[in-house]
Amino acid sequence: MSLDAYLAAEPINSRTLPTLYAIALISLAFALAAMRPTGAQPMVIARPVALIGCMIAFASLVPFLSLWLAVPVLLIPAFRVMGETRWPWIIGVALAIAACGWVITELLLGLTLPRGSWMQ
């Protein structure tokens, strides 16, 4: 995310939370993959690896799409990886989470997160 010069100089800015989320989720996925029982089925390993891929895609797309448009890009495939099959539910929940985050952050708190590069 590109930031104004005065925000970029701050130790905590609008890049901090998405970065911390990505680091925490990727670390958790690696930990889950490392703690697999011996003789585990291949699917047990495939899920954490697929979730890591979802998180890497999310982190890569945030600068281009903005946080709130990238959230469904993370959640929709993550729900599928975890075994959810109801497409209306998957899409509805992913969009609702992004919309609620946007309403709370931008409307209620008055914080403006940087727009994605394709929006500028």
Q: For the whole model, what pTM was predicted? A: 0.63
Q: What is the pLDDT of residues 79-103, one digit of tens each?
A: 998 888 999 999 999 999 999 989 9
In this structure, of 17-26, 39-48, 111-120, the range with the lowest mean pLDDT score is: 39-48
> How far are the Cα atoms of 22, 40, 42, 55, 56 from residue 18, in angstroms, in the given order?
6, 32, 30, 11, 12
Q: Please name the residue ranges forming H helices in the chain.
A: 5-8, 16-34, 42-65, 67-81, 87-102
DSSP 38: T
Cβ-based neighbour number of residue 110 at 10 Å: 7
15 backbone φψ class: left, alpha, beta (φ>0; ψ -120 to 50): alpha
Q: What is the pLDDT of residues 102-115, one digit of tens each?
A: 998 888 888 888 78
Confidence (pLDDT) at 76 = 93
- Report residue 62 as tokens: 């945030």
- Report residue 88 as tokens: 């209306």
DSSP 12: S
